[in-house]
Structure 1
Amino acid sequence: MLDYMVLYQSNTGNTKKLATAIFSALPGMSKDLRSIDELSDLPEARTYFIGFCVHRGTCSLEVGNLLSSISLKNVALFGTCGAANQDNYYQNIENSARIWLEDDNHYLGGFFCQGKMPQMVRQKYESMLTGDEKHDYHLKMQMLNFDEAMIHPTKADLSHAEQFVKECLTKELPK
């Protein structure tokens, strides 16, 4: 059994970047890093770091099913989303994904940050503009958020992910 298993699902590469930073921050050699989409079964580990890209405020069904299959382990969540960089939004994401996790696990916490979105998202916003100031205000705010998200995850985001690992390690249940 490994000490640490970092599993992630990443559509755009953002969450994979976080997963790699988290993996690098974990101590020792008894660790592995894998894409959830390539798993045939759950590798055995003492502590899991599970990452996902956020869609509609939560994790995918595949990630939810994976979380619900974990029992009696240390578990931490992480992920990226294109939406605004707001702690309360990230807390809601964490809570909605954590619901899948069985209560017999020891939850270590969650880390979320902004990530760039595919260009087609901005194009969709642009196509919805009508020229009416009231109608377009929200869409223009979404486009500003899109533009800000293009630089994420940043070096600072990756550094925060590494700090998150250090915090999680202090909360782990002993071997």
Structure 2
Amino acid sequence: MEASERKLRDAGELRSLAHPVRMRLCQALYERGTATATELAEMIGESPANCSWHLRQLAKYGFVEEAGGGKGRHRPWRPVPRMLSWGDSDESGEVAAASDALSMQFVEQEFAGLRDWQAWRRTDPPEWQDAAYWMQNIDWLTVEELKELNEAIAAVILRQRKRRDPAERPLGARRIRVFAWAVPAEPYAED
């Protein structure tokens, strides 16, 4: 069951998550449900010792937890399911810098995923190639319309959130990357 939203407001927790290996570990755990450091190492291409160390760092800040059973690298871990948010306008100093670093790490990860897909997409069956989609657009919106647009995008994306549980995934479902943004195209200027 999805817990309430967690607002990341501490520079340490923001920095702990803004690491490429830790982000991949969290993603792998959400896909798998539970896994050991050894299993995760195979999934993300890192050593079991490195995964174990990073899992302990993620656990320190409450992003993952031990699932019980096993010892050392053979103990299973699971994600702590919660929507995360950060990047509020009132952040400053160290928190703002850590928040921006986490946001940039997410952007880099998602653009890498898009580049990877572009490289191998022609090897997919035609129906998967045709179902995949990306777009670019620039429009003129008020602040209220921008909020409405972002809420509508989030609602569509979050409809499939229950499928993080492997038991909820229908036969033939594949892992799909969804990354969307609706942000101003240039800095604010008084009219």
TM-score over 0.5 for the pair: no
- Tell which structure's C-alpha radius of gyration is larger: 2
Q: Which has the higher strand share?
A: 1
TM-score normalised per structure 1:
0.25
